[in-house]
Amino acid sequence: MKTILLQKRHIHTGSLILVNRDYGYHTEENTSLIPVQEHTPDILIQRRAGILLSSLMEQINGWQHIVPVSGWRSLAKQQTIWDDSLSENGLPFTSTYVAVPGHSEHQTGLAIDLGLRQKEIDFIRPAFPYDGICGLFRKRAADYGFIERYPAGKETITGIGHEPWHFRYVGIPHAAIITEHQLTLEEYLFFIRQFRHGRASYHFRRNSQEISVSWLEADGNGCGEACLDTELPYSISGNNFDGFIITEWRQCDAYQKELRRASSENRSVPQPGMA
């Protein structure tokens, strides 16, 4: 086991950062942006999210029927979209469908608006129905780390109207857990707080992998110490306000083998994710 020191700036980075009306996006270092697809070089997304989105689209032959409408936005771009919508559509519409500048997920490079390929595409509210190819995309999205970020019925939690077209990369396995439990990102980040790093973890099984997720609250200085088996894959993301979500992968087979060996040697094995 190794201790990983986490610093205050890490709270504001990672695939699980919460950006909404309460928590703004303050990091403007999007060095790892790539085009969502080759035909739309101006629509950008963070590299890892982009690679997974491409795999998903390839799987379902998605780009035949779906177009990327909006990806990463700078703060200035978000301000322009807000100002234009305000003068064209008025405040009630704009505040329902456009995030206040500084508080848009699009600034993180982790969000993508998708639309069904058709003659006229509405930039703010593109059509992305629940059936056909769009339905298939939704069905597979969680396996590739994406969630529908603003579902119907959760408007008071997200602070944004129902947006069937807006998808957010949160990573694997978080997208699957969120989708399975029908949570929003806000609710998930609250839910995961009960699994305190070093004491408990949420277990998720994916193919032959056992994945554990735990929560580490930052100390008074915004820092934290995670204790991990660094020989196994892991990822750490901030939540953008007070701590870190730690995800650890472990092969079930290896774990089972170790369990068997341990039981023959009459010793116990910590559960995956338990420090």
Pairing state between β 33-35 and 66-70: unpaired
Give the pairing of strands 111-116 and 66-70: antiparallel
Nearest distance in Å: CB 191, Zn ion:
24
Q: Which is nearer to Zn ion, 68 or 171 (CB)?
A: 68
Distance CA 66, CA 58 (A): 12
| Contacting residues for 49 by C-beta, under 8 A, at least 6 apart | 15, 109, 110, 112, 145, 146, 169
| CA–CA distance, 218 with 238 (Å, rounded to integer) | 10
Name the segment binding Zn ion (CB under 5 A); options: 12-20, 50-58, 108-116, 233-241.
Answer: 108-116
Q: Per-residue x/- mask for Zn ion, residues 65 to 104, rule CB under 5 A? A: ----------------------------------------
Q: How far is the CB of 70 from Zn ion (least distance, A)?
A: 6
Nearer to Zn ion, 24 or 198 (CB): 24
Kindly indicate which of the ranges 17-25, 113-121, 139-147, 193-201 contains the residues binding Zn ion, using the contact rule CB under 5 A. Answer: 113-121
Nearer to Zn ion by Cβ, of 165 and 215: the residue is 165
Verify whether residue 248 is a known catalytic residue.
Answer: no
Q: Which amino acid is at 166?
A: H
Q: What is the DSSP letter of 196?
A: B
3-state secondary structure of 220: coil
Backbone angles phi, psi at 128, to 5 degrees: -145, 80
- Residue 166 in the binding site for Zn ion (CB under 5 A): yes
Nearest to Zn ion of 144, 249 (CB atom): 144
Interface stretch with Zn ion, choices 73-81, 110-118, 232-240, 254-262 (CB under 5 A):
110-118
Minimum CB separation from Zn ion for residue 140, in Å?
A: 20
63 near 31, Cβ under 8 Å? no
Token reading at 197 = 């790093």
Q: Which of 10, 52, 113, 160 binds Zn ion (CB under 5 A)?
A: 113
Cα distances (Å, whole numbers) of residue 172 to 28, 71, 119, 218, 232: 24, 20, 34, 23, 16
CB atoms closer than 10 angstroms to residue 207: 6
* Comparison of 113 and 248: residue with beta carbon closer to Zn ion: 113
Closest distance between Zn ion and the C-beta of residue 166, in Å? 4
SS3 112: strand
Q: How far is the CB of 39 from Zn ion (least distance, A)?
A: 20
Write phi, then psi, for 165 (nearest 5 degrees).
Answer: -95, -10
Q: Smaller CB distance to Zn ion: residue 23 or 255?
A: 23
Min dist. Cβ of residue 256 to Zn ion (A): 42
Does 148 bind Zn ion (CB under 5 A)? Our answer is: no
Angle at 70 between CA 78 and CA 63, to 5 degrees: 175
In the set 105, 163, 210, 248, the catalytic residue is 163
- Give the residue at shortest CB distance from Zn ion: 166
For the annotated catalytic residues, the residue numbers are 163
Instruction: Give the interface with Zn ion as residue ranges (CB under 5 A).
Output: 113, 166
